[in-house]
Amino acid sequence: MLRVIGFGPGGYEYMTIEAKKALEASDLIVGYTVYTDLIREYFQEKEYYTTPMKQETERCRYALTQAREGREVAVVCSGDSGVYGMASLLCELAGDEPGTTLKFIAGVTAACSGGAVLGAPLSHDFAVISLSDLLTPMELIRQRVALCAQADMVLCIYNPSSRKRKDYLKEACDIILQYQSPDTVCGYVKQIGREGEEAVICTLRELRETQVDMFTTVYIGSSRTKKIGNWMVTPRGYRYASV
Amino acid sequence: MLRVIGFGPGGYEYMTIEAKKALEASDLIVGYTVYTDLIREYFQEKEYYTTPMKQETERCRYALTQAREGREVAVVCSGDSGVYGMASLLCELAGDEPGTTLKFIAGVTAACSGGAVLGAPLSHDFAVISLSDLLTPMELIRQRVALCAQADMVLCIYNPSSRKRKDYLKEACDIILQYQSPDTVCGYVKQIGREGEEAVICTLRELRETQVDMFTTVYIGSSRTKKIGNWMVTPRGYRYASV
């Protein structure tokens, strides 16, 4: 059996009880090296198969082959395995050779774990967009950012930057500034739930001038998002509806 | 101390280890009756304070008052407390009278838990939109649906229906049909992780004719979303990038 497991931001306590049990029930744990390193200390008596980035297909094929041979295999992802994770690729590869049982085990995705650090940025409609153009044409990303800003939805941005894409967040901010005020409340969280966690709340104008790394999740508020104390909050509207 | 806890779709094993510990550490558990009923059997030796829908403000004020008096209080929500949950309202109310420590504990939101039942519908950019117009003008909801469909993003719809809003999903489908093919792959999951869980994959044309209830989460694919076996899958693009 092949279990596809999202284990949340990384710490033991951020995984679900279901994920913990599924990892305990697995013999072989397969994943991207950076992610398996986050959980290795909690599941020591296991065989690990890890590969670096850009070897996703090879890694997933290996996991499927091992599962077909009758092993209990876990493919792990940080966050939720269905959000920019391995779940879709595994469905595609398994679809070629039916007969492997796949079970998907949901986890807390960065939008939610980072949101909890900032307060409540996602309490109304929101969009999740990755700025990585490794697998998506940049023009489509730009279009999506523009339309979501026009829709006045909160934007949660994954993969806001990397060594080769230093200016992508700035470019996204410039697009959003065509529709939203420079004073729009924004926030970002580095290393969610990990050592070095850091959360910042700022304005869209300030965010534009900020250099973040690839382990950062960025939140761009809607016109209704507010800073309350040290929290970034997008009100749902309960307050005035039910008093 | 006041902990704001999302416990996922409902079963014990779908909550994070952090949420379980936080509930164990609380004396008083506050929540909407339907949600507290989902976890009551696992945390029996606690005091509960529950109110029905539309009494969110009163319920949160009570929790804050109790926490200020020194009690260990948990406000619980299903899914993630930051996604259409109580986190934002608690920030607003706590902001009026600073001095209460709030801690937000993220959970698996329905987009992700339902996604895991369907396969991998959210493996590329997506938007989360609630069709409830109790607190949001219907015109804004319509606009958001239209812009996200135009952006060719997967749409995950919360609160797709209720007794008073039987036709809202049909209306949303009609808006999306202006931009997307009637053959767009869609799916929905009823009672995620609960007794009576049921998942269906269909086309946008079929979804338009479907009556769902308020305990259903709906997924409307992008132009790239596919049905593979019994899964709804939005490919990330790994397959062709890394072979």
Q: Which domains does chain B have, with CATH numbers?
A: 2-108 (3.40.1010.10), 111-233 (3.30.950.10)
Residue range A96-115, pLDDT digits in tens: 877 888 999 999 999 999 99
Closest CA to A81 of B234, B83, B116: B116
Decide if pLDDT at B107 tops 90.
Answer: yes
Q: Which of B93, B144, B236 sits opposite A84 (nearest CB)?
A: B236
Under the banding of pLDDT at 50, 70 and 90, the label for residue A242 is: very low
Per-chain mean pLDDT for chain A: 94
Q: Supply the pLDDT for residue A154.
A: 98
Interface test with B, best of A43, A86, A112 (most B CBs within 10 A): A112
Q: Compute the nearest-CA separation of A131 from chain B (Å).
A: 10
Decide if pLDDT at A239 tops 80.
Answer: no
Q: Supply the pLDDT for residue B243.
A: 35
In A9-68, the DSSP E strands lie at 28-32, 47-51
Instruction: For residue B189, list its beta bridge partners.
Output: B199, B217
Paired sense of beta strands A102-105 and A2-6, if any: parallel
Residue range A169-202, pLDDT digits in tens: 999 999 999 999 999 999 999 999 999 999 999 9
Residues in chain A closer than 8 A to B107 (CB atoms): 108, 112
CB A40 within 8 A of CB A48: yes
Contact A122 B83 (CB under 8 A): yes
Q: Compute the nearest-CA separation of A174 from chain B (Å).
A: 18
Under the banding of pLDDT at 50, 70 and 90, the label for residue A134 is: confident
CB B3 within 8 A of CB B74: yes
Closest CA to A6 of A15, A197, B81, B156: A15
Q: What angle is formed at CA A204 by the lines to CA A175 and CA B94, rounded to 5 degrees?
A: 135
Report the percent of chain B where pLDDT is more than 90.
Answer: 88
ipTM of the complex: 0.96
| CA B114/CA B123 separation, integer angstroms | 13
Residue range B116-127, pLDDT digits in tens: 999 999 999 999
Contact B108 A104 (CB under 8 A): no
Structure tokens at A131: 């700025």
Question: Rounded to 5 degrees, what are φ and ψ at A79?
Answer: 70, -130
| φ/ψ bin of A55: left (φ > 0), alpha (ψ from -120 to 50), beta (otherwise) | alpha
Report the percent of chain A where pLDDT is more than 90.
Answer: 88
Residue A140 is given by DSSP the state H
In B17-58, the DSSP E strands lie at 28-32, 47-51
Spell out the residues 6+ positions from residue B206 whose beta carbon is closer than 8 angstroms to its own: B186
| CA A35/CA A31 separation, integer angstroms | 7
Residue range B185-214, pLDDT digits in tens: 999 999 999 999 999 999 999 999 999 998
